């Protein structure tokens, strides 16, 4: 038994944010029916399917053309019986098919309906397309990222997408809990823009209080020194001496007690005022060690540090990744190959989830006929749907 095994979720999303949300629900036991257009999820072909694979485990795929009468009738039947609907269409599109929240609730009044978009369902930006790097730009995040003498840069991982998907799943579970305790269904409006703004919270609060804008600081941290990226004998390391005690430990590890006596470096404020001078003192010491050696020495001494690793390091060499089972076997349906994927980032002491994905990502339309059979369509009716190009199957 899994926590959500009594829920049926109709997934009308593509890309990353929506699939992240519905994968979380699927891995907690929900039956997730992924409704795909004839061309499939638009992210299936990106990076040879490697952008689709990590976020679509545990789902069944129904490939259907909603622009046909037959296809629309199938999707309508699914949403009218669903416990949860998650969609990522542009505002106004689903109204044409009577699949918007207002229309669906006339037929399924207790449904939990989550609309996931770039900018939300209200406001002057509501009709704009929104993708992770664009949201990084307009949310202020990109303006804080990079070096002060160079243009802003994007964060290469799709953090806003993934964060929006996780927030959407949380909101859905709250709505399910509310409904289970006697409440009504609800419409959840969540956007990448809103999530990004919420993640800029301490910069917003600091600007309101001080009037100061965050500056692009490259590898430098905020609030203390040394705090940033430093070179080592074989790469780079991030070191963050966030308190006087940590700075003392750092100097002890390096056998540089003289830095504790130096007037320029007496307090955190002093060290921040003379950040570059302190950096010049530390670099020759750090480059005596490899990143791994220095990381271990500093961590053992209680100084926060992290060797800068590549994806190869994570996959092939990181013993903690292995111990935590954070990389697991998966399957890329677009190239029909076994691949590795990052697992879900939580562990339960009970048997709710063991870290392994419940099932591989589906091929486009892999479960089309199975889903139609579950809706009580006969073999002849299913064949006619195929003949009229209302549905498609991978078989």
CB burial of 19-33 (b: ≥16 within 10 Å; e: otherwise) equals: bbbbbbbbbbbbbbb
What is the residue-wise DSSP string for 48-73?
GGTTTGGG-TTEEEEEE-TTSHHHHH
How many residues are there in the chain? 395
Residues 6+ apart with CB under 8 A from 342: 54, 326, 327, 328
* Cα–Cα distance for residue pair 330/343, rounded to 1 Å: 9
Please give the Cα distance from 339 to 112 (Å, whole number): 34
Q: How would DSSP label each residue in 18-58?
A: HHHHHHHHHHTT-EEEEEE-TT--TTTTGGGGTTTGGG-TT
Neighbour tally for 18: CB within 10 Å: 25
Phi, psi of 147 (to 5 degrees): -105, 150
Single out the residue of 293, 264, 334, 283 nearest to residue 40, CA to CA. Answer: 334
Catalytic residue among 41, 132, 161, 189: 161
Which residues lie closer than 8 Å to 334 by C-beta, 6 or more apart?
A: 44, 45, 48, 49, 52, 53
Strands 112-117 and 84-87: parallel
Taking the C-alpha atoms of residue 151 and residue 143, their distance in angstroms, rounded to an integer, is 8
* DSSP helix, strand, coil percent of the chain (3-state; round to 5): 40, 15, 45
Q: Is 161 a catalytic residue?
A: yes
Helix axes 379-387, 69-81, angle to 10 degrees: 130
DSSP line for 216-234 = --TTB-SSSSSEEEEE-SS
Active site residue ranges: 161
């Amino acid at each position: 038994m899994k926590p959500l095994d009594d829920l049926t979720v109709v997934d009308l999303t593509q890309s990353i944010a929506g699939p992240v949300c519905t994968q979380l629900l699927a891995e907690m036991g929900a039956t997730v029916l992924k409704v795909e257009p004839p061309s499939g999820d638009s992210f299936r072909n990106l990076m040879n399917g490697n952008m689709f694979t990590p976020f679509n485990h545990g789902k069944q795929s129904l490939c259907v053309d909603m622009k046909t009468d037959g296809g629309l009738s199938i999707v309508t039947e699914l949403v009218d019986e669903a416990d949860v609907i998650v969609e990522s269409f542009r505002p106004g599109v689903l109204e044409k098919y009577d699949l918007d929240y207002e229309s669906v609730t006339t037929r399924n009044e207790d449904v939990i309906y989550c609309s996931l978009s770039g900018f939300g369902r209200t406001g002057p930006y509501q009709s704009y397309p929104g993708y992770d790097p664009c949201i990084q730009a307009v949310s202020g995040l990109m303006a804080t990222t990079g070096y002060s003498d160079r243009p802003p840069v994007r964060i290469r991982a799709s953090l806003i997408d993934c964060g929006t998907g996780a927030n959407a799943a949380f909101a859905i579970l709250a709505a399910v809990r509310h409904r289970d305790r006697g409440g009504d269904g609800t419409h959840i409006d969540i956007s990448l823009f809103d999530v990004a703004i919420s993640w800029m919270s301490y910069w917003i609060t600091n600007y309101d209080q001080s009037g100061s804008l965050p500056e692009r600081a490259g590898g430098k941290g905020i609030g203390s020194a040394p705090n940033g990226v430093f070179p080592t004998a074989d790469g780079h390391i991030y070191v963050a001496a966030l308190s006087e005690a940590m700075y003392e430990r750092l100097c002890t590890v390096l056998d540089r007690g003289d830095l504790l006596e130096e007037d320029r470096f007496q307090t955190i404020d002093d060290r921040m005022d003379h950040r570059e001078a302190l950096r010049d003192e530390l670099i020759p010491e750090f480059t005596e060690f490899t990143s791994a050696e220095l990381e271990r020495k500093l961590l053992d001494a209680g100084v926060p540090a992290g060797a800068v690793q590549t994806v190869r390091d994570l996959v092939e060499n990181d013993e903690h990744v292995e111990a935590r089972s954070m990389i697991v076997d998966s399957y890329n349906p677009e190239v029909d190959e076994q691949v590795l994927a990052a697992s879900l980032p939580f562990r339960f002491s009970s048997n709710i989830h063991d870290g392994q994905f419940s099932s591989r990502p589906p091929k486009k339309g892999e479960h089309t006929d199975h889903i139609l059979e579950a809706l009580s369509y006969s073999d002849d009716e299913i064949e006619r749907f195929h003949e009229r190009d209302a549905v498609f199957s991978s078989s």
